Amino acid sequence: MANKQYLVLARKWRPQAFESVVGQDHITRTLKNAITSGRIHHAFLFIGSRGIGKTTTARILAKALNCLASEEPTAEPCGECSNCEAIAAGNSIDVIEIDGASNNSVEDVRELRDNIRMVPTNARYKVYIIDEVHQLSIAAFNALLKTLEEPPPHAVFILATTEAHKIPATIVSRCQRYDFRRVPVPQIIELLRGILDKEGIAATDEALHAIARAAEGGIRDSESILDELITYCDGEITFKDVFDVLGLVDWQLMHDICDAILAKDVTRQLVLVEEVVTAGKDLTQFVQELLRYFRNLLVSKTANVSELIHLPEEELAALNARAQKISLTNLIRLVEQFAELVNTFDSQLAQRIALESMLIRISKVGVEVSLDTIMEKLIALGQGGLGTGNDGASSATPSAPPATAPRPPATPAPQAATPPPPQAESPPDPTAAAPAESAPAAPAPKARIKVTPENLTRAWGAIITRTSEEDLNLGTWFSRGKALGMEGSTVSLQFSDDNPQAVSFVQDRNNQQAMVEALQRHTTNLESLDITVEEAPATQSRTAASVSSDQPYYPGTNPEEAREVLNDPGVSTVVRVFKGRIADISSVAPTDPLAPDDALDSEE
């Protein structure tokens, strides 16, 4: 359907009157007023990014000055007289368009000065439109300055530039300055819709939104994207067409990456990045699109979606479904991480999105985020590792491992095996704040503990904490044992048969091996374990009837004291609010509160 004689839209539909210039009302209104009141300056400076109407406005101004339908300059040039037509076509002998980039020598400007002395042939004014004026050489600027200082009354200069700061102040001060703005998305859409209506071509709203967004406020860019799409599409222009033509990454791939992040599937994430790279997509653009995608997720979770996200229905539904799976805290963290990444790719998009997520944080999740921060601090302090469920008060007990499942020998965290993607240092948890996952970067290795019979109880607590940090499962069962004493490099561990799961776990040879290795990693002098299983004392179950038989063992306290703590309603509330569990119980008052815990770590 593409017409062979096709005239690009930007030229075909170039505005011919001040009223049709889109998005620059502040400028066209001022210009019209100046013309109507007869206060016509001899030099104008048009500043603004490319393709937003500077040259177009300059030509309309030239027509306004020279239109023959009026006795004097008019704010409404007729568009039909010989002058208007010649100017619109770019071949008026009295309106001279100069490209500053290719006519930047002194000779060029001298020639221009000589030319200026001649009175206009068919018009009231000789109009010089110098585009990209910042590219003139210093010598050329000096020559131009002389002209601007004493311009002949029939000369009008319109200087246009994308980079105002490169123009000497002496020039700027002799011009009337006009700052052109990037055009807002709705106005671009309205313009494109108007063009398509005149061309008799259909397009979805979402497609026009996508074009307007991609053009980033530039009229000419939006029109040339539309040009491409008209050539590309047979029927209605759709959202997907825009993606295809612009070489943007397929929307489905965004969903896929999101799903892989939710599933914490690092391999899949890297495979998807590989796909993007292999397809020859621009990574900067991709990262920006990714940020936009997660921003949309955030918006769809927190605000009235239809007004803020302009996507087809089915995409909105897909987005909403995913937004429901991520907690707000994690989503904000994710968006901020992507924004930071985009920042390093140098983009303005990141600023807006950082602002948006901060606003959402302020108004929606202040409490949640601060709790989250507290959790992170607690973990950083090494308080979060002890895996002992509080069956009575907490709904967040760690899931019990299968009692008989042998486990492979523990090896230090295998996370380094697969390189994480740039944003993966704290992958989002699909359910809620995830303490174990969002722990800060791996702490520096701690000094190993020297265990003595005197410090055995405290040292044992520290060993369990460290083991739990590496392997929560192992640490959990480890903690059910009681360190009775030590002889040489062997520590005696006692498990009670009232906890059959723990007994069955520690009797597995693989698990024993893992425990021994943990001892060797974390202590300077323990090499082996002596495990005994003790019958649960009958007296205890009678005198402390309410101590649950599977109440976890807390090294720092006796079972009765522990029971009191576990049954304390205040403690239950804290556990519930923080979605936490009780890691350890110890009494504070009798010991020296200033004694540092790390005193254990005295020896390598």
Residue 166 C-beta: closest distance to Zn ion, Å: 35
Report the DSSP beta bridge partners of residue 97.
129
> Which of 16, 161 has the CB closer to Zn ion?
16
For residues 402 and 215, give the distance between their C-alpha atoms in angstroms, rounded to a whole number.
57
Residue 79 C-beta: closest distance to Zn ion, Å: 6
> Which of 81, 316 has the CB closer to Zn ion?
81
| Beta strands 176-179; 528-534: pairing state | unpaired
> Which of 129, 332 has the CB closer to Zn ion?
129
Residue 156 C-beta: closest distance to Zn ion, Å: 16
Q: Which stretch binds Zn ion (CB under 5 A): 13-21, 63-71, 139-147, 520-528?
A: 63-71
Note whether 64 and 36 are within 8 A (CB). no
**Where in 87-134 does DSSP place strands (E)?**
95-99, 126-131
Sheet holding 482-487, edge to edge: 482-487, 490-496, 528-534
Token match 């967004």: residue?
A: 213
For residues 459 and 599, give the distance between their C-alpha atoms in angstroms, rounded to a whole number.
10
**What is the Cα Rg of the chain in Å?**
37
Residue 212: how many CB atoms within 10 A of its CB? 27
CA torsion sign for 526, 532, 538, 539 is negative
> Which of 82, 546 has the CB closer to Zn ion?
82
> Which of 81, 246 has the CB closer to Zn ion?
81
Residue 174 C-beta: closest distance to Zn ion, Å: 29
Site string for Zn ion, 451-490 (x = CB under 5 A): ----------------------------------------
Token match 């770019």: residue?
A: 90
For residues 581 and 479, give the distance between their C-alpha atoms in angstroms, rounded to a whole number.
14
Residue type, position 231, single letter: T
CA torsion sign for 22, 24, 28, 31 is negative
Q: How many residues bind Zn ion (CB under 5 A)?
A: 6
Question: In the numeric block, which tokens belong to residue 154?
Answer: 């029939």
What is the CA 276 to chain-centroid distance, rounded?
18
Q: Which stretch binds Zn ion (CB under 5 A): 68-76, 126-134, 421-429, 431-439?
A: 68-76
Q: Which stretch binds Zn ion (CB under 5 A): 66-74, 132-140, 189-197, 230-238?
A: 66-74
Phi, then psi, of 341 in degrees rounded to 5: -65, -45
Residue 68 C-beta: closest distance to Zn ion, Å: 5
> Which of 66, 397 has the CB closer to Zn ion?
66
Residue 69 C-beta: closest distance to Zn ion, Å: 5
Kindly report the length of the chain.
604
Site string for Zn ion, 70-99 (x = CB under 5 A): -------xx--x--x---------------
∠ CA 410-413-417, rounded to 5°: 115
Phi, then psi, of 116 in degrees rounded to 5: -60, -30
> Which of 31, 491 has the CB closer to Zn ion?
31
> Which of 78, 371 has the CB closer to Zn ion?
78
> Which of 68, 432 has the CB closer to Zn ion?
68
> Which of 61, 242 has the CB closer to Zn ion?
61
Residue 101 C-beta: closest distance to Zn ion, Å: 30
Residue 119 C-beta: closest distance to Zn ion, Å: 20
Site string for Zn ion, 22-61 (x = CB under 5 A): ----------------------------------------
> Which of 120, 552 has the CB closer to Zn ion?
120
Residue 87 C-beta: closest distance to Zn ion, Å: 9
Site for Zn ion in 239-298 (CB under 5 A): none
Residue 78 C-beta: closest distance to Zn ion, Å: 4
Residue 35 C-beta: closest distance to Zn ion, Å: 13
**Torsion angle of C-alpha atoms 28, 31, 33, 35, degrees rounded to 10:** -140
69 lies in the binding site for Zn ion (CB under 5 A)? yes
Q: Left (φ > 0), alpha (ψ -120 to 50) or beta: where does 465 sit?
A: alpha
Token match 């996370």: residue?
A: 415
Note whether 528 and 451 are within 8 A (CB). no
Does residue 48 sit in helix, strand or coil?
Answer: coil
Residue 298 C-beta: closest distance to Zn ion, Å: 52
**Torsion angle of C-alpha atoms 367, 368, 371, 375, degrees rounded to 10:** -170
> Which of 68, 164 has the CB closer to Zn ion?
68
Tell me which residues touch Zn ion (CB under 5 A).
67, 69, 77-78, 81, 84
